[in-house]
Structures are given as structure tokens and as C-alpha cells.
Structure 1
Amino acid sequence: MILISGLTLFSIGLGAAAILGIASKLLYVKEDPRINLIEESLPGANCGGCGFPGCSGAAAAIVAGKAPATVCIVADSEMSLLVAGIMGQEVIEREPELAIRDCSGGMRASDSFHYEGAHDCRAAHLLYGGSKSCPEGCLGLGTCMRACPFDAIQMNDQNLPIIDPLACKACGNCVDACPRGVIGVAGISARLLHLNLTSDCLAPCRQKCPAQINIPRYIEQIKSGDYNGAIMTIKERNPLLLTCGRVCPRPCETECRRQYVDETVGINMLKRFVADRELHTGKHLPISCAKDTGKKVAIIGGGPAGLSCAYFLRRLGHQPTIFEAMPKLGGQTRYGIPEYRLPKADLDWEIQGILDLGIEAKMNTKFGVDFTIETLKKDNFETIFIGIGAWQASGMYAEGEDLNGVMGGIEFLTAHAMGQKIETGEHVIVVGGGNTAIDAARTCIRLGAQVTLMYRRTRAEMPADMEEIIGAEDEGVQFKFLAAPARVIGDEKHHATHLEYYEMELGEPDESGRRKPIKKEGSEQRMCANLIIPAIGQKPDLKCLYENEEEGSCLLETTRWQTIVADSETFETAIPGVFTAGDVYTGPDLVISAIGDGRKAARAMHYHMTKGIIPLSDQTQTTMIPYTLFKEVSVKEKKERATLPLLCYGEERNCTFNEVEGTLSERQAQKEADRCLRCGLLCYDGDSAQETQGVLNTFEE
């Protein structure tokens, strides 16, 4: 019986072995040898940051085509190339990325209620969005720190995450863990392309800046002595910081919360301080550019908008060529702003730094004469940017203004900038109240004339910068307020000799908020003049856009103000692939506005060429965020605002075009930076003198 049982079991085992043997031949599964090769090439960290269960899972996913050769977040580019070689693939080098934190609130942000729940940001967020009064700020419970598999995040004493750039692998776990979007992962291209969002931590000054510069960050970098870091922060948004440090009217400062304590922070003078430090070294800081895409872009116009657009397109890897009608680049920063405000040698140095990135420029090349949109397309330019400015002076609408001796403000300044000798005579009348009028008046003073500036409102309504008005007064410009031109009177040679004008009085406010000037009937008077300079406005000259001017056939849609119509978010015109920005789009505006819009146009052009669609967000910040505009600011210590030093005084200024204003000393800049309250959306430093080192998370490119 036992023998039979044993034989039975042996027979069953033998049969099973035979079946398995046959099955192994029929159902044999061979493992792809590339899996082992790839796994051996990976670092063996088994961190799971790639989203697969360890390096073996990642290797299997690569072979199965479910993951790219670059899936490992720990591996360097050399390792990725090795994996790609095993797979017979080509690896395109990716920009380095890093986790970055936007919020600067931390302990400064007040609590709207006391939270005693789980110590997890996601759990806290489920309860009325969390206890912090700031709707976008960090909740400070360290969920991102615990989510990081590389110990790259620590919480500081302000309850804010600090990211170690050497340990961070940009895996994105912290981004997934943060319910407020406080942390993001980005490389330099993503940072250049980012537009302000209402969910960002935007101090009022940063909201108001047309170029969207991270003002609190660069001031904090100046305060800590990181001057190069401050320069790089500014250059992520503005390549013309040397120019803007001299001519920007500082719209950001109008929203500075410090004004509710004593005086606004000297934001622009701090920008000039670091820009001048770079200038005086004689060497531009290195600027990174993405890998070349081979895509050609035509930039028509080399003013602030065109230079900005070209700069950002080049940094994104494209190949811009600037076509400029004038002998040199710079637009009205060169030809419309006098030497005493912006030395042209400094402007040359700044522009050369932009060109040195690999941007070609063709001078004395006129749009509509030497080339057209069609010829550019035939030359394989994939997109076109039109930034031709507003060079045509508006008239006075006064009889006789076509006489000799009447010269538009921008025409006068351009002629002088190009070295032409202008006969001013003894008496000059400048008509207008903006910066162009002030620049023309102060230039004529330096040319030896007696100058009267005529303005139809009062000094209080002048749109010119107050510093420029005061400078003109100091230099001897006479002001004739509440007066408007009626007609120009000339001699037998058709040359102006007098300006007849009306006296005015102020009525009700107009659409600009200023009181409307009303003519006093029977108040005509005359003033002698050898040169009359109307500087009351400018508009674009669009003749270059007409295929046949006589028939009035314009290539693009335009407005009654002679500006080009374009989409307000993408800056694309009626012709697909043709974009615009600057004064030709907005009408005469600020240099900083042209720079900011030039970047936004470059962003749109980049996506148009690479994605075919321009991404937009319903969270894009376009107006001031109302709840951030409170005026109740409690600060313990008042601090005096710095003043820029004057480089020349009195009569010396009236006979030279040397620069008038200087820059802050390092000690002055440190003190001024210390006045900044480091504002966020709601938070600020009540004691601005406290130590704040390390609160901002910054990194070099």
C-alpha cells in the first residue's frame, strides 16, 4: 500500500515536471536586458521622486515607453545621456529647475482664528482656508518640509519654508503638498515667462510696477549686501535698469506703504545704485539664455519696447534681429531724453550688454522703405514685432504754426541729440507741461536762450515729474501758467516773431481728473519769440504701414489716435504672427511701460512659435488688488528718506550737458533699503530695523 502511494506521488510529480517543462518552452517570458542596464545606470536612491516604485520600477517604465530617459530627478545630465544611449534616444538638455517660495509673510501675517487641529497645511486649509488672514500666504505647518524626500526644505523662525538649492531636486512633491500654491518649481525660462497673478505675494509697489519687477526682493538683497543678486532680480523683468534708474517717474513709489509712516522708499534710486555699480565695474554680469531654438524673429524698432522684446526672446533661445531706422538704438531714450538726464555713453554700454547676448541689429533700415512685413516673412522670420514708437509731434491747432521758427518738441530734441545746430535766438517759448516740454526748455537754457514755458493749467496740474519741474525752475526757466496759444505771428520772411495767447481759467475736472481749462474771451496777449516749441503730445507715424498711401490701404487695424490695434493680453495684431507694444500701441507712455509690454509681447511670441497657443490665466493681475491698499500702517521708528546728490550747481548746470544727478553711496543705499517694510499682500514689518536675513528664499541662475 505504501509502495503504491509512493509510486502514485512520484508519477504525479513526474507528470507535473513534464508539464512545467513543456510550458516553460511554450510560455517562456524573457526579460528585456535593457531594464537591468538602465537600473544599473540609475543612482539607486529608490526615492520615489520620479513617481515609480524605486529605480527598478523607473527602469521598467523607461523600457516600456511610459517614462522618458530623464525621468530620474536625482540623476545628472550625464546619467540621463547614458540611459538615453541604452534606449537609442536623444536627450535634449533641460534647464535646471528649483523649488521657489513666493510668500514672505510667516509670523508677520496675523491669524483670523486660533487653529488647534492637525499640524498639516492641507488639513488646516480645509477649515475656512486656514487661520492666516492673508488668503494666499503660507500656513506655516511644514507640510512641504515633510513631503520633500531630499531634506531640502526647512522651516525658519518666521514659520516659512527655506529651500536648500544644493539639495533640491525639483521633484515637485512640495508643490503637490502645498494647498496655497506658495511653492512652485521653475527654471529661468519659466520665471521670465511668468506674469503677475492675483494668487502671488504681490506688495503694492510690485503690483504697480509696469514691468512687474520683484521690488521687495531686490531691496532685501541690497540690504543684505547681495548687489549682484539684486541686479539679476531686476534683469528678470527689465534689461534697461541703468536707464530706468535715471528717467523712470517711479509709479511704484506712489503705492509704497512707507508713505503712511513718513516718506516713500526711494525704490528707483536703489535700482540706480546697483545698476551704477555694474556700470562702474565695466563688465556686464553674465546672463543665461536657453538653448537655441533656431527660430528667427524680426524686431522693428530699437527703442525700449523693441530692446526689451529682443532681450527676452533671446533669453528664451530665439534669434532676434532688430531693424532700426535711426543711426543708433535706444529710440526716444536716446533721441528724446537729453544728455544731462541720461548720458549716452551709459546708454550705449547698457544696450551693448543686450546685443552681446547674440542679438543682431541693422541700423538706418526703414520699415516700409527697405523692407516690409512680406519681405520679412520671405526671409523666414517666424514672428514679427512692431515697436516703432510715437515720433510725430501733435500740433498746437493754432494759426501760423507752419511758419519757420516753430519746431515740435520731439523734433527739436531729436535734432539736438543728432548733433544738429539749432538757432534758438534770444527768446524761446515752449508750449506744454509734460517731461518733453521740460526737457526742451532745459535744453534751450543750456543753449543760451531765455526760456518761457507756457502751460494752460497751473503748476499743480503739470504731468511732468516734480523733480524735473524744480530743476527747470532752478536753472532759470520762466513759467507762464493759465495760458494757451492762439496764433503764431511772423515777419515778411515767414519766420515766427511772436506768439499770441489766451489767458485761461480752470473749470470743472475733465476725464483725466484735472480741472478743465477755459478760455477767457478778450484776454489775447502777445509774447516775443525767436523759436516756438510745441510739446503738447506725440503720436505714431504710420505711413510705413500703408501699401499705397494715396489709396489709404493700411496693413493693420489702427485707431483714431494713430495707434495699432492689438489684443490687450497677447499683443497680437490683426495679422497672425505680428505683434506690437510700446508707444505705437499705447500712445506716448512711460519707458518702463514700454519695457514691461515688450516682455509680455515676447512671452506671447515665444508661445506662438513653440506651442501654437498663448496661455492666459483668469488670475492675471491687471489692476491693483483692493484689499492690499490699506493705509493704517503701524511702524515704531520714522526714518528719513535719502536724496540723490547733485553733480553740478547753479550756472555750471546752465552751460553744460553733464549729468545733473548722481547716485547713492553704499552707506546711503543700505540705510534706504532698511526703510523698506518688506510688504506682502497684507503683511509688513512693523519694526523695519529688525533682522530679516534669510527670510527671502533666493538663488542665483
Structure 2
Amino acid sequence: MADHVINEAKRCLNCKKPMCRTGCPINTPIPQMIHEFLNGGITEAGKMVFENNPLSIICSLVCDHEAQCEGHCIRGIKESPVHISSIENYISSNYFDKMEIVRDPLKNKKAAVIGSGPAGITIATILAKRGYDVTVFESRENIGGVLRYGIPEFRLPKSILDNYRKKLYKLGVRFRPNTTIGGAISVDDLFRDGYLAVFIGTGVWRPNSLNIKGESLGNVHFAIDYLVNPDSYDLGEKVAIIGAGNSAMDVARTALRKGAREVTVYTHSEKVRASVREVEYAQIDGVNFEYCKSPVELTDKGPIFADIIINEDGEKMVQAGTEKLYPADTTFIAVSQGPKDKIVSTTQGIDVNQRGLITVDENGKTTRNGIFAAGDVVNGAKTVVEAVKFSKAVADAMDEYMQTL
């Protein structure tokens, strides 16, 4: 691994106008990182990347690099691009294991973070570093949100998230696991107890449905529910997955690892929405793909699909009379998710849009004073790096707000 990373780093052209950095949503200083690394400054390189992106070690594993940094690498025009993700992972892992985060003098001001996914971890890290007393409220027993309960172990080892908790705990962050805000404790209770600002980063955990007959059957499950704990499910040998995003790829590859013999992904389009690399890994693992299929009904014996034809204008039309049963022991629905409304329904003054996502301004301020939000609960299901990028701006806004109180 080390030899590979060093060789890849040496392939970097150190461009004057680094397109790799332009392609990175969070503007990671890639050429500078590689330069420091090759000149013996692996710790300096790691610190540089972590300061820019507190979740750098995670993003190095789960980002869609082909569409971002590596997809913009100049070397990729005539040959393979520099494998930036491997370099960043090596540097970030080395730094994360030994880093000691320096905390600013305590401000004696409390901030509440609801949800410990990418946005919540980012906010907690930044505010704790700046001297705020941060408490993270997590509805599940462990931190990580979608990182832990929506991404399989083979893509993102849970030990990384356990280490984040240890680092945050040393930084003074307190955790309230198994605590749902909007139940026994409300947002108003948080303000009552002295929290000056509240951050909402609860993600999107309500599965979108197909609104067709059969979705309540015992052999039908939602992808996001399955990924929380795959060992709770008996899948049988043949699995059908409706939807072709990254979550569908995660379900498909996990199902094969849990004993399924045949897994097929069905999509209504002529191409797959998931990232190129995730599709390639799914194919290598043995996942099958069926294109231009429209689900009509779900049955105990498997889903019924009709064929979709695409006309000259690119419009999709269901072809009548092509309905057919595709046998499967288990059917998964993987057509994205929306937000739950536990907090919004129990808190006055927080506006949401038609999709139930929290309305915020460019700094993450909600329509209620003192409450901020970011991540998927604001933007819908997006990438980890996009959540981190926006959360950095929100942390600045929360800091500025609390300094006035």
C-alpha cells in the first residue's frame, strides 16, 4: 500500500491550476498535500487536510472520486488519473491516529448538536475546538448516522467512527446516545437548560415508497432499513432491488455477502445513477442489472415489471402488455429517502419545504432564532463531502451568533 501511494504521489504534476482541487466540493489542497507528503511532511500534510475537512479520512473512502478530484486530474486525459483518494487516505489515517486537537479557552457557552452524522460530527468538532461546551444527541446507540447505519463495513470500517467518538470525547464533547429530541426532550427544553444554539443534522431516514400494491408484504423491505442491521433479515437466495443509486449498490453487495445467491438491480432508466466505481464493484461482486423496467406490483413471489421504451425525444413510456413477474425471494425498494418530522412537529417556528426538508438561509439559519441545520435534512440525500462543506459555514454562523449572547 505504501509503495503504491508513494508512486502515485510522484505522478502528480503539481499543476499551477490544479483541476483536481477545482473538482473537489470542499476544495481540498491536493497539490500542497502531496508536496508535503513527498518532502517528509506527512504530519503537516495530514493537519492541512484535516483543518480543511474534519472528515477527510472518511471522504477518502466514500467520495465519488471519479466525478470529483480524480475525474478532473490532468493526467486522466491521456492515462489513468493520480489515485488521489488512496494518497489522502494514507495521509489522513496516519495523522488521525496521532493527532491531538488543541482546544481554545473555554467560553462557558453551550451548543446542542442533534444527530451525529457527517454534519453533526463536523459541527461538534469545530465548535468544541473553539471552546464551546458541545453535547451531541443521538437517537441510536452509536455515533455516525448514515456513515454507520447506511454505509456497509466493507466500504467504511466502523472502527473509524469509534475513533471519532474518542477524539471528540477528549475534546470535551458529551454524548447522549439513545436520545430522540422531540420525544421526552424537546428543542424548547434544550433552550431552557442553557443551550444558546441548537443544530439539527438528523439526516433523511424515512424511505420513499413506490406507491404500488404490495409494499407492505413480508418479503419487501426498504434499503435504508436493511443497511441499519443486515443481520436481522432472512433474504433467501434470490434478491431484487428496485432503484440504482449508491444505496442500491450497498444493499446488493451486502446481500451477496450475507448469503444471497443471485441479486439483480432494476432501474427505470437506461443507465445507473450510482457512481461508476460502485457499479463496477457491484458487477465484480456478481450483481446483475436490468434496465428500463417500471415496477407495477410487488408480490410474495417477486416484483412485476413492465418494460419502458424511450422515444426520440428521450421521453420514457411504459409499454402496455409487457408486465412480467421477475421471481425473487426478497424485494428491496431503494428510491431515496426523506426526513422524519419528529423535531419539526414538536417545535414551533421551523419552516420546511414541500419535501419536508428544513428551510435555511445560506448560513444554515432556520426560520427560528438560535436554531441551525445542515446536511441531508436540509438538502436531501447528498454526499458526505457536500454535508461537510456546508456544515463548516454553519459552524461559523453558530459561532458568530453565540458570541453575541
Provide TM-score, normalisation by structure 1.
0.53
Distance 1:355 1:204 in 2: 37
Distance 1:221 1:464 in 2: 33
Greater helix proportion: 2
Check the 8 A contact 1:432/1:454 in 2, yes or no: yes
Residues 595-629 of structure 1 show CA distances to partners (whole Å, capped at 9, x for unaligned) of 122211101101111257xxxxxxxxxxxxxxxxx
Check the 8 A contact 2:123/2:395 in 1, yes or no: yes
Distance 1:242 1:465 in 2: 19
Distance 2:21 2:165 in 1: 25
Task: Provide closer, same or farther for how the CA distance between residues 402 and 607 of structure 1 changes in structure 2, counting only shifts above 3 A.
Answer: same
Check the 8 A contact 2:104/2:130 in 1, yes or no: yes
Query: Which residue in the other structure is 1:528 paired with?
Result: 327
Query: Which residue in the other structure is 2:279 paired with?
Result: 469
Residues 404-460 of structure 1 show CA distances to partners (whole Å, capped at 9, x for unaligned) of 2111110111132xxx421101211011111100000111111111211111123xx
- The residue type paired with residue 381 of structure 1 is Y
How many angstroms does 1:565 deviate by? 0.3
Q: Among residues 278, 289, 302, which one is paired with 2:103 in the alignment?
A: 289
- Structure 1 residue 454 corresponds to structure 2 residue 266: yes
Task: Provide closer, same or farther for how the CA distance between residues 576 and 272 of structure 1 changes in structure 2, counting only shifts above 3 A.
Answer: same
Mapping for residues 314-353 of structure 1, pairs under 5 Å? 314-353=128-167
Structure 1: which 5+ residue stretches go unaligned? Answer: 1-107, 110-201, 490-495, 510-514, 548-552, 613-701
How many angstroms does 1:238 deviate by? 1.7
Query: Which residue in the other structure is 2:223 paired with?
Result: 409
- Structure 1 residue 301 corresponds to structure 2 residue 112: no
Distance 1:381 1:314 in 2: 14
Residues 250-309 of structure 1 show CA distances to partners (whole Å, capped at 9, x for unaligned) of 223333333335333322221111123346xxx431222221111100000011100001
Check the 8 A contact 2:187/2:343 in 1, yes or no: no
- Structure 1 residue 563 corresponds to structure 2 residue 357: yes
- Structure 1 residue 253 corresponds to structure 2 residue 70: yes
Task: Provide closer, same or farther for how the CA distance between residues 295 and 531 of structure 1 changes in structure 2, counting only shifts above 3 A.
Answer: same
- Structure 1 residue 539 corresponds to structure 2 residue 338: yes
**Aligned-pair Cα RMSD in Å:** 2.0
SS at match of 1:327: coil
- The residue type paired with residue 540 of structure 1 is P
Check the 8 A contact 2:126/2:395 in 1, yes or no: yes
Check the 8 A contact 1:428/1:530 in 2, yes or no: yes
SS at match of 1:407: strand
Query: Which residue in the other structure is 1:638 paired with?
Result: none
Check the 8 A contact 2:240/2:302 in 1, yes or no: no
- Structure 1 residue 592 corresponds to structure 2 residue 404: no
Check the 8 A contact 1:393/1:537 in 2, yes or no: yes
Distance 1:544 1:236 in 2: 31
Check the 8 A contact 2:50/2:92 in 1, yes or no: no
Check the 8 A contact 1:299/1:320 in 2, yes or no: yes
Distance 2:320 2:186 in 1: 50
Check the 8 A contact 2:201/2:375 in 1, yes or no: yes
SS at match of 1:236: helix
- The residue type paired with residue 343 of structure 2 is C
Task: Provide closer, same or farther for how the CA distance between residues 351 and 544 of structure 1 changes in structure 2, counting only shifts above 3 A.
Answer: same
Task: Provide closer, same or farther for how the CA distance between residues 399 and 230 of structure 1 changes in structure 2, counting only shifts above 3 A.
Answer: same
Mapping for residues 614-625 of structure 1, pairs under 5 Å? none
Distance 2:389 2:229 in 1: 28
Distance 1:475 1:244 in 2: 23
Query: Which residue in the other structure is 2:8 paired with?
Result: none
Query: Which residue in the other structure is 2:256 paired with?
Result: 445
- Structure 1 residue 270 corresponds to structure 2 residue 65: no
Residues 159-202 of structure 1 show CA distances to partners (whole Å, capped at 9, x for unaligned) of xxxxxxxxxxxxxxxxxxxxxxxxxxxxxxxxxxxxxxxxxxx8
Query: Which residue in the other structure is 1:499 paired with?
Result: 303
How many angstroms does 1:516 deviate by? 4.8
Provide TM-score, normalisation by structure 2.
0.91
Task: Provide closer, same or farther for how the CA distance between residues 370 and 508 of structure 1 changes in structure 2, counting only shifts above 3 A.
Answer: farther
How many angstroms does 1:507 deviate by? 4.3
Check the 8 A contact 2:242/2:335 in 1, yes or no: yes
Mapping for residues 132-171 of structure 1, pairs under 5 Å? none
Distance 1:516 1:274 in 2: 47
How many angstroms does 1:216 deviate by? 2.4
SS at match of 2:398: helix
Residues 495-544 of structure 1 show CA distances to partners (whole Å, capped at 9, x for unaligned) of x22210011123468xxxxx553312221111112211010111111133
SS at match of 1:592: helix
Distance 1:217 1:506 in 2: 47
Query: Which residue in the other structure is 1:220 paired with?
Result: 35
Distance 2:244 2:29 in 1: 32
Check the 8 A contact 2:241/2:334 in 1, yes or no: yes
Q: Which of the pair has more CA radius of gyration?
A: 1
Q: Alignment identity in percent?
A: 30
Task: Provide closer, same or farther for how the CA distance between residues 220 and 385 of structure 1 changes in structure 2, counting only shifts above 3 A.
Answer: same
Mapping for residues 472-487 of structure 1, pairs under 5 Å? 472-487=282-297
| Count of aligned positions | 388
- The residue type paired with residue 565 of structure 1 is T
Check the 8 A contact 1:284/1:353 in 2, yes or no: no
SS at match of 1:293: coil
SS at match of 2:218: coil
Query: Which residue in the other structure is 1:4 paired with?
Result: none
Task: Provide closer, same or farther for how the CA distance between residues 215 and 611 of structure 1 changes in structure 2, counting only shifts above 3 A.
Answer: farther
Check the 8 A contact 1:410/1:436 in 2, yes or no: yes
Task: Provide closer, same or farther for how the CA distance between residues 231 and 516 of structure 1 changes in structure 2, counting only shifts above 3 A.
Answer: farther
Distance 2:39 2:222 in 1: 47
Residues 604-661 of structure 1 show CA distances to partners (whole Å, capped at 9, x for unaligned) of 101111257xxxxxxxxxxxxxxxxxxxxxxxxxxxxxxxxxxxxxxxxxxxxxxxxx
Task: Provide closer, same or farther for how the CA distance between residues 332 and 203 of structure 1 changes in structure 2, counting only shifts above 3 A.
Answer: same
Distance 2:27 2:277 in 1: 24
Query: Which residue in the other structure is 1:193 paired with?
Result: none
Check the 8 A contact 2:110/2:133 in 1, yes or no: yes
Check the 8 A contact 1:237/1:596 in 2, yes or no: no
Residues 49-68 of structure 1 show CA distances to partners (whole Å, capped at 9, x for unaligned) of xxxxxxxxxxxxxxxxxxxx
Distance 1:268 1:507 in 2: 40
- The residue type paired with residue 331 of structure 2 is I
